[in-house]
Amino acid sequence: MSMDLHNENGHIKMGTHIWEQVLKLADELGGWDPMGVQLNVDWLRQRVEHLPKAEQEEILATAQPSSYSANDGDIMLGQDATNLANALARMMDDIPTFNIENSDTRIEYFSGPKTREWLENLIAYLRDGGDVILA
CB 16 within 8 A of CB 3: yes
- Tell whether 103 is covered by a domain: yes
* pLDDT (tens digit per residue) in 18-51: 999 999 999 999 999 999 999 999 999 999 999 9
- State the pLDDT at residue 105: 86
- Tell whether 121 is covered by a domain: yes
| E strands, the chain, in order | 2-7, 10-15, 74-76, 132-134
* pLDDT (tens digit per residue) in 83-124: 999 999 999 999 999 999 888 888 899 999 999 999 999 999
- Tell whether 56 is covered by a domain: no
**Calpha distance 82→8 (Å, rounded):** 14
- Tell whether 86 is covered by a domain: yes
Contacts of 12 (CB under 8 A, 6+ apart): 4, 5, 121, 122, 125
- Tell whether 44 is covered by a domain: no
pTM of the model: 0.91
Is residue 6 helix, strand or coil? strand
- Report how many domains make up the chain: 1
Half-sphere exposure of 84 (CA within 13 A, CB side): 29
- Tell whether 25 is covered by a domain: yes
Is residue 76 helix, strand or coil? strand
CB 135 within 8 A of CB 79: no
- State the pLDDT at residue 104: 81
- State the pLDDT at residue 47: 92
Task: Give me the domain span that covers residue 76.
Answer: 2-38+68-134
Encoded amino acid at 120, one letter: E
Arithmetic mean of pLDDT, 9-23: 95
- Tell whether 52 is covered by a domain: no
- Cα three-residue angle 77-70-86, rounded to 5 degrees: 40
CB 44 within 8 A of CB 63: yes
- Tell whether 95 is covered by a domain: yes
